[in-house]
Amino acid sequence: MHTSHNLILKFYDSFSKLDADNMISCYHPKVTFKDPAFGNLNYQEVCTMWRMLIEKSNGNLTIEFSNIKVTKKSGKAKWIATYTFSQTNRKVKNIIQAKFKFKDGLIISHNDSFNFWFWSGMALGWKGYLLGWTPFFRNKVRQQANLSLKKYMTKN
């Protein structure tokens, strides 16, 4: 089995066990991360994001992963996060496609993508269904997510 495959297995197995430190150990110190909710994050920000999301889940987070495919330099996986969105107390089942690039045996680039409109409907209800497709709404959600991350970073 390819070492990059094992790295992705370790990352998601750690995530499913809510072990942020072990997840973070899979990242290169110069990693970049991107997703629709937080936008672009650097090493410190993405490490803090995983810690924050796991802590705020209060153990109410289930991670499933599948379809791991890797080469020496890149990889991809599908993962599903099931949780209760804290701001609205609504149940969310988010299906995410992840793409990775590797350097020095670690993840140097991590790009998650998902259907933002579908997610916003589950997480935010009718407002999400009505407005989730608009750039304005996406930017507001991203601003709120980053504000939450910055507050968490200053406390920890």
Kindly state the helix (H) or strand (E) to which residue 30 belongs, with its residue range. Answer: strand 27-35
Rg, the chain, Cα only = 15
58: exposed, middle or buried (Cβ count in 10 Å: 0-12, 13-18, 19+): exposed
- The verdict on pTM exceeding 0.75 is yes
72: exposed, middle or buried (Cβ count in 10 Å: 0-12, 13-18, 19+): exposed
**Which two three-digit tokens encode residue 98?**
């992840």
Q: Where do the domains of the chain lie?
A: 3-155
Per-residue pLDDT of the chain (156 residues; tens, 9 = 90+): 469 999 999 999 999 999 999 999 999 999 999 999 999 999 999 999 999 999 999 999 999 999 999 998 999 999 999 999 988 999 999 999 999 999 999 999 999 999 999 999 999 999 999 999 999 999 999 999 999 999 999 998
CATH code assigned to 3-155: 3.10.450.50
**Which two three-digit tokens encode residue 2?**
């390819």
